A and B are shown apart, each in its own frame.
Chain A
Amino acid sequence: MSIESVLEGFKSSPSVARNVTTWRHLPARKENYVDFPPHLHPKLAEALRKRGIERLYSHQATALALLGEGKNIVVVTPTASGKTLCYNLPVLQTMLEQPQSKALYLFPTKALSQDQLAELRQFSQLLPRSIKAFTYDGDTPPDLRRAIREEGEVVITNPDMLHTGILPHHTTWIKFFSALKYVVIDEIHYYRGVFGSHLTNLIRRLKRVCQHYGSQPQYICSSATIANPMELASRLVEEEIELVDNNGAPSSEKHFIFFNPPIVDKSLGIRSSYIAAARKLSLSFLEKSIPTIVFATSRLNVEVLVKYLKDVLEKGVKDEGKVRGYRGGYLPRTRREIEKGLREGEVIGVVSTNALELGIDIGSLDACVIAGYPGTISSTWQQAGRSGRRSGGAVAILVARSNPLDQFIINNPDYFFGSSPEYGLINPDNLIVLVNHIKCAAFELPFVEGEKFGSEDLTEILRFLEEDEILFYKNGRWYWTQDSYPANDISLRSITADNFVVIDRSEKSKVIGEVDYTSAPTLLYKDAIYMSESQLYQVEELDFAGRKAYVRQVNSDYYTDAISYTGVRILDIFQSQPSAKVVKAHGEVRVNSRVVGYKKIKFYTMENVGYGEVSLPEQEFHTTAYWFTIPEPALSGLGFERSEVIDGLLGLSYLLQHIAAFFLMCDVKDIDRCLGDKEANWFIRQKEQGRGIYSYDPSPREVDISGVRRFEPTLFLYENYPGGVGFSEHLYRGHQLLLQKAEEAIERCRCRYGCPSCVGPVPVTGSRVKQIAYEILKAIQ
């Protein structure tokens, strides 16, 4: 049965139709083919023909031509448009022409590396000689590493491995670096904010090493649709870049549907479960055997949805494995198996986190159900792009949650369809990031007088490091003089690499999965229901120090969802400046988060069937923050209730976080916000409905805000990196500018009550947020 008949069914079914808020029809795009260019290596042309490719898409031909001219490129085309060939073709062409050439592929995740390796090997088997391609990362067995260093022609790795494992040992890669012709950086939209700033510096280090061995590689970047691919690519590799965006791949016509689950309780404004809606919509495709991908916003929701779908679709043994889950934390072997199953059609439905948003090859799917707005326009298009590879129609459905952001998007479709996607911003000359990489670079090769690295005055920084006895200057060179390995102390990502393993006691202590450090407290507390591929387990014991969780298989009609909170406390004030209006400061803070309990939620009915307490150590990290405190007199004149002031300040903190991210050229996720009390007497915590004010000590307890003696709220913007990356000081100095820009942002925004472009989407309560935030802003400047 076809997509069309299911869609007809939607239209004629009132229960679906009345909840569809938007139905857009995106026309099919015709393909734009180009004949093989004359200089294409005959063996390569032959290999392409063997794979059934008789002509190239226009963007593939452009990429090949520009690279042939020695240019660097960034390819920006949608998911599944044959982007991989844009770099594999020129790389293989060069290797056929100049057999000694080497290429380095950088992917943000190991899973992507694996996928590319398989693809490249398959293709190169059709060539007269097969190209030696390898992945080189933490999973590479030690005895294979030497062979890869000496013989690898295409080495596929990730930035972290390049940073700690390859560049600091470049002498063992002498053959590779001497003949490096291409550096491929895929999925550059991933390198936003601090991660991207690190990558630029990593490329600077790579260039120094290449120069040492006399090579000068060309750069091939590729990106999903973001607002500024050219800018981002040229900032990442710091070379002139040519944009390749003449997409020649066809796309089928697509229906994009927004679905808002109906309101079930008018007085409270409660909507029916979006998970249930996503289940129902997915089933209408899956029951007709239409290949479908479902995206969920969290690992927990992935597992819940897999279970629901399996319950319906896998009734007999022969149906087993028709629906699979896919998320980080599954073992690599399992993931490969699922990817293969999808490509070969044995798996017809997959429920995934954003892990499948990236370019992992899973073949063609016809329908895509997005359960919950993924948070950015760019991600949403990426996910929707997973459907519609075949000719014929395709459909993408966005199912909204009841939170303000989802509700805003679903009720303002023009905002989604009309706005440009997000920006990829980076600031590679952030002093802390820069100095860290200068140390690594000095370890790799001594700096020579007159060298350039970044846009700050390098000599000044080198002299500074010399004074700190990190470097030693002699005869025009700065040498590394520390008994340490600097790359080990610098993590490119904010998340620690520590993983928790999940061990099933019911099956001879078999390891069934992994959970990253930051998620462990919210998933693996004692008595939690842990789900993996819809099998339920209960956590018997969490060995926090040993990074292990012991679980046992159970049958349960409920799952658990953690309740947690986050608070910020000031440890040290670096600088502070009081004025009549506000007291601004920056300094060191402690960010605490803690899982305090969990809810038991019944499958299907979503009833809350109980609570449990959790005693886990508080997760804390120290970082730097910028904040300002509003004294009582400044607020009392405005005539708002305290709770209204809090609403207003929450809106304001949303706006300031977004402006600050732009101001700092970082990603919004690199910084975070918190509203609380300067003395840490109270903080704001989300509750089931709305929010509450909680006291800190000895344990969080809800208090009545009107009873708080001195009401002097403090707005914190803190850095989401342990130790901080130095943003706060800039914000402190830019305080006035920030407030002024915030005021202008509200004035210029055409929305009535607030939207994601200003104070955030209107919360369920308090449609005056925009106005209150505006008046507070005026009062404190």
Chain B
Amino acid sequence: MDLKDKLKRLLDSPYRDFLEEDDLQSEGESLTLRQRLELIYRRSRQEQGLAGKVLEPKRIEELVQGRVEETPYGQCFVREIEYSPEYCHGEVSLSSLLKVTPESCCKLTGEERFSEWSHSKAVFVDTETTGLSGGTGTFIFMIGLGYFQGERFRLWQFFARDYSEEMAILYLVDRLTQPFQFLVTFNGKQFDLPLLQTRYRLSRMDTFLHQLSHFDLIYPSRRIWRLRLENCRLSTLERSLLGVERRGDVPGEEIPGVYFDYLRSQNATLIARVFYHNAQDILSLVGLMATICLLYHRPFSHGEWCGEDFYSLGRLFHQLGEAEKGSRCYLQALDSGIPAHLVPSAFKALSSIYKKNREWDKALKAWDDLLVLGEKEFDLFPYEEIAKYWEHQQHDYPRATEVVERALSHLRRVKEELFPDRYAAMERALEHRLRRLRLRAQGKRWY
């Protein structure tokens, strides 16, 4: 019995009796596949209003200065630009990148490998893609990369005039990046690199790109400017920090559509603007990296940072273990003015730096400031810290007791404003401390 017979034998449900094989087959035969597709999708087609614009073909070669490059994987279009060191991107000259030090890169990335940093070993990369969602259906149609040759900055852009040229651009990019040791991107860890890896794998090609030491500028940018800027997209950063104004740009979210339209119409007018967009992005990588690394070394040399920036820098330095720079930034932040809700955290951070350095006078001053702030919104922290200071540093138990008593009476005064569970926990903690202090004051073991 072959499979078909077996199936037939199995098909004997109560309803099967009423339906002949022919009935099942005949369904849909009256309409062609095309008619059925149109029936289902007719309305969505009408809504889309497809096939509206018809453009005359216009080749990229006529609009962008570049050349067609032959590779073992076919052709693609290549554009090359060279910038002199004096070239200014917004307010930042490209040569300022030459001052970036290995130390700043190591600290900001947390990677030892950057101790060998040299601008001549770094390549700046940005890709243009057919989508932002990732996955194997997102193609890369343009890869821009830049590097310093001597003091001059060279920028290459590889463009796939259709999908079949993607392998050629991947091939050229891989060849060109091989001599480099460092990679600089913006959000490349999340987006560009995984996507490049996917494209290389799909093309059954290998790449060194993911072995390069990678400095993704999005992380330090977020740490420093998240508080001040409405977002930390590259376009926002370059406008606010580098003073870059783009003219005739294509917004990033429109780029996939521009490429799809170009594929069908073969009119490259808007693609020329994508070349511009990509080049600007790469220049912004250079400008942004220079700005961040210089800020690391000399946070106070530049007059344009505001209170929030210093606050963020203070936190950054504090986290990086550079307490001295951190405390200066916090002080500068308080001096320049920061939003009220950040003030207590700034004082707390400052006091913990002082405490660690055993600079007790400064610490006490910071806690006193916090007590004043606490008049508006109750905060247990300064009371506890001051009490600990008297108890553990000075062994002055009566004084510590007095602080705790003040805290308790303050707490009870504001009881109504506090969430009951939180109130109870704080009250318990204070009472416990008080009991212990009383025992200690009597010279007893408190535990």
Residues of A within 8 A of B (CB): 168-172, 174, 227-228, 230-231, 234, 240-241, 419-420, 423, 431-432, 435, 442-446, 456-457, 460-461, 464, 467-469, 472, 474-475, 477, 479-486, 488, 508, 574, 658-659, 662-663, 665, 726, 729-730, 733-734, 737, 741, 744-745, 748, 757
Contact = CB atoms under 8 A, between A and B. Distances in A.
B264 A479 contact: no
B164 A659 contact: no
Given A431-B40, A482-B260, A733-B30, 16 more contacts: A228-B10, A228-B11, A231-B11, A444-B137, A457-B33, A461-B37, A467-B50, A468-B50, A475-B164, A483-B260, A484-B131, A485-B137, A659-B18, A663-B19, A730-B28, A741-B15
B13 A474 contact: no
Given A483-B132, A730-B27, A174 B6 contact: no
B7 A234 contact: yes
B340 interface: no
A736 B421 CA distance: 70
B132 A169 contact: no
Interface in B113-139: 130-137, 139
Contact of A474 (B30, B36, B135, B162): B162
A571 to B, nearest CB: 12
A482 B131 contact: yes
Contacts of B135: 168-169, 443, 485
Contacts of A488: 133
Nearest to A624: B40
A155 to B, nearest CB: 18
Interface string B426-441: 0000000000000000
A446 B36 CA distance: 24
Contacts of B45: 468
B15 A171 contact: no
A481 B14 contact: no
A745 B197 contact: no
Contact of A483 (B19, B33, B136, B256): B256
A733 B10 CA distance: 28
Interface size bracket, B side: 35 or more
A633 B329 CA distance: 90
A234 B3 CA distance: 9
B41 interface: yes
Nearest to A730: B27
A423 B33 contact: no
A172 to B, nearest CB: 7
Nearest to B30: A733
Nearest to B261: A469
B24 to A, nearest CB: 7
21 contacts: A170-B136, A228-B11, A230-B6, A432-B40, A445-B136, A457-B33, A464-B41, A472-B162, A477-B163, A477-B164, A480-B139, A483-B256, A508-B421, A574-B39, A658-B15, A663-B19, A663-B23, A726-B40, A729-B39, A730-B27, A745-B18
A485 B12 CA distance: 42
B260 to A, nearest CB: 5
Contacts of A461: 33, 37
A231 B7 contact: yes
Contacts of A420: 12-13
A170 B135 CA distance: 8
Interface of B: 3, 6-7, 10-19, 23-24, 27-28, 30, 33-34, 36-37, 39-41, 45, 48, 50, 130-137, 139, 162-164, 194, 197-198, 201-202, 256-257, 260, 263-264, 421
Contacts, number: 141
A464 B34 contact: yes
B40 A485 contact: no
A169 B197 CA distance: 11
A741 B27 CA distance: 15
The 7 closest A-B pairs by CB, nearest first: A443-B137, A483-B256, A485-B133, A662-B15, A168-B135, A480-B137, A483-B131
Contacts of B48: 468
B163 A460 contact: no
B136 A443 contact: yes
A726 B31 CA distance: 14
Given A171-B201, A228-B10, A484 B133 contact: yes
A695 B89 CA distance: 71
A168 B37 CA distance: 25
Which of B18, B135, B163 lies at the interface centre, i.e. has the most chain A CB atoms within 10 A of its CB?
B135
A472 B257 contact: no
B260 A469 contact: yes
Contacts of B15: 658-659, 662, 741, 745
B201 A231 contact: no
A171 B199 CA distance: 8
A483 B130 contact: yes
B41 A468 contact: yes
Contact of B164 (A431, A464, A474, A484): A474
A443 B12 CA distance: 40
A483 B14 CA distance: 48
Contacts of B11: 228, 231
A340 to B, nearest CB: 34
B256 A171 contact: no
Contacts of A474: 162-164, 263
Contacts of B27: 663, 730, 733-734
A662 B137 CA distance: 37
A481 B131 CA distance: 9
A659 B16 CA distance: 9
A93 B16 CA distance: 42
Contacts of A446: 163
A737 B23 contact: yes
Nearest to B195: A171
B263 A481 contact: yes
Contacts of B14: 419, 757
B10 A227 contact: yes
A444 B134 CA distance: 11
Contacts of B164: 474-475, 477
Contacts of B421: 508
Contact of A481 (B17, B202, B260): B260
B194 to A, nearest CB: 8
B16 A479 contact: no
Nearest to A165: B135
A486 B19 CA distance: 36
Nearest to B39: A729
A261 to B, nearest CB: 29
Contacts of B201: 171, 174
B137 A469 contact: no
A748 B17 contact: yes
Nearest to B135: A168
Contact of B260 (A432, A472, A486, A729): A472
A544 B197 CA distance: 42
Contacts of A464: 34, 37, 41
A585 to B, nearest CB: 14
Contacts of A240: 3
Given A442-B137, A443-B137, A744-B18, A172 B198 contact: yes
Given A231-B10, A481-B260, A169 B163 contact: no
Contacts of A744: 18
Contacts of B131: 482-485
A485 B138 CA distance: 9
Most buried by B among A445, A446, A483, A659: A483
A484 B50 CA distance: 18
A775 B202 CA distance: 64
Nearest to B29: A733
Contacts of A472: 162-163, 260, 263-264
Contacts of B137: 168, 442-444, 480, 482, 485-486
A87 to B, nearest CB: 22
Given A230-B10, A483-B256, A734-B27, A435 B37 contact: yes
Nearest to A724: B40
A482 B48 CA distance: 14
A508 B422 CA distance: 12
A482 B132 CA distance: 11
